[in-house]
Amino acid sequence: MVNFETFLFFRTYRDKMKRTGSFSKNRADAYSNPSLVTYLKNNEINELIVTGVFIEGCVTATVKGALARNFAVTVERDAVAGATDQSKETALTKLAT
């Protein structure tokens, strides 16, 4: 369940992304594009909600990249997918430790 503050943060972040455009990536980690980090820091965004379709790859890499850059990260269990339900749960467990 997403609390009200998290929803407002997500909506604010999404609205800003619409005005700015998108950030392409060449690797699994979205932070391989330095423009993303610059944008987040310049806009004082330090809490992130991460979603995605492949938690065993891109989602995990992006979460680790965000944590390495001192962002607070929330992974919404119902907003990520994995190759299988079991691999999704395994990946979520690994990220939580």
How confident is residue 2, by pLDDT bands cut at 50, 70 and 90?
very low
pLDDT digits (tens, 9 = 90+) for 4-51: 333 444 455 566 655 555 777 888 888 888 888 888 888 888 888 888
Please state the domain count of the chain: 1
- The rounded distance, in Å, linking the Cα atoms of 30 and 69 is 12
What's the whole-number average pLDDT of the chain?
80
The answer to whether the pTM exceeds 0.85 is no
Q: What residues make up the domain containing 66?
A: 4-96
The two structure tokens encoding residue 79 = 């907003």
Lowest mean pLDDT among 13-22, 50-59, 61-70: 13-22
CATH number of the domain where residue 69 is located: 3.40.50.850
